[in-house]
Amino acid sequence: MIWFPNLDFVLSTWAKRRRERADTNLLEDLSVMPSAALRADQIDRLSVADVEASDEFDAMLAHLELDTKSAPLSPATRVDLFLHCLECDNRRACKSWLTCSHDRFGYRRFCPNAALFERLLCIRKWQTAVSAALL
Instruction: Flag residues of the chain having pLDDT under 50.
Output: 1-2, 31-32
Alpha helices (H) along 36-74? 40-46, 54-64
- CA nearest to 97, candidates 52, 60, 53, 54: 60
Domain boundaries, the chain: 5-134
Q: What is the pTM (predicted TM-score) of this model?
A: 0.72
Task: Measure the CA–CA gap between 65 and 74, rounded to whole angstroms.
Answer: 15
What is the per-residue pLDDT for 36? 59
Residue 83 has a pLDDT of: 87
pLDDT for position 108: 93
Instruction: Report pLDDT for 117.
Output: 94
Rounded CA separation 88/85 (Å): 5
> Which 8-state DSSP code applies to residue 74?
P
Contact at 8 Å (CB) between 21 and 58?
yes
What does the pLDDT look like over 8-36, one tens digit per residue?
Answer: 777 777 777 766 765 555 555 554 455 55
